[in-house]
Amino acid sequence: MSQANALAASLVERNKKYAAENHKPMPLLHGADGKLRRGTGVLVVTCVDPRIVPETFLGFRQPGFDPIALPVVRVIGGRAKHAITNIVGLDAAFGVDTILLVHHTDCGLTHNSDVSLKTTLKDRFPEETARVEELSFHPIAQLGESVTEDMQYLREHPLIKKDMTLRGFLYHIDSGLLEEKS
Beta bridge partners of 181: 168
Return all residues near 133 (Cβ < 8 A) that are at least 6 apart: 118
**Residue 49, annotated as binding a ligand:** yes
User: For position 131, which CATH number holds?
Assistant: 3.40.1050.10
What's the angle, vertex CA 69, arms to CA 65 and CA 71, rounded to 5? Answer: 125
What stretch of H or E contains 34? none
Neighbours of 142 (CB within 10 A): 10
30 appears as a binding residue in the annotation: no
Kindly report the pTM of this predicted structure: 0.88
Going by pLDDT thresholds of 50, 70 and 90, the confidence category of residue 167 is very high
Is residue 140 a part of any domain in this protein?
A: yes
Alpha helices per DSSP H over the chain: 3-21, 54-57, 80-94, 114-124, 129-134, 145-156
112-145, pLDDT tens digit by residue?
999 999 999 999 999 999 999 999 999 999 999 9
**Rounded CA gap, 102 and 99, in Å?**
9
Residue 5 CA neighbour count, 13 Å, CB half: 2
The residue type of 31 is G
Domain count, the chain: 1
Q: What is the pLDDT of residues 49-107, one digit of tens each?
A: 999 999 999 988 767 666 677 899 999 999 999 999 999 999 999 999 999 999 999 99
With respect to residue 3, please indicate whether it lies within any of the assigned structural domains.
no
- Beta strands 42-47 and 98-104, pairing class: parallel
Inter-CA distances, 52 with 5, 11, 106, 126, Å: 24, 20, 11, 33
Domain of residue 87, residue span: 29-181
In a domain, 10, yes or no: no
Would residue 12 count as lying in a domain? no
Q: What does the pLDDT read at residue 67?
A: 62
104 annotated as ligand-binding = yes
Say whether 163 counts as a known binding-site residue.
Answer: no
Using CA atoms, how far apart are residues 20 and 22, in angstroms rounded to an integer?
Answer: 6
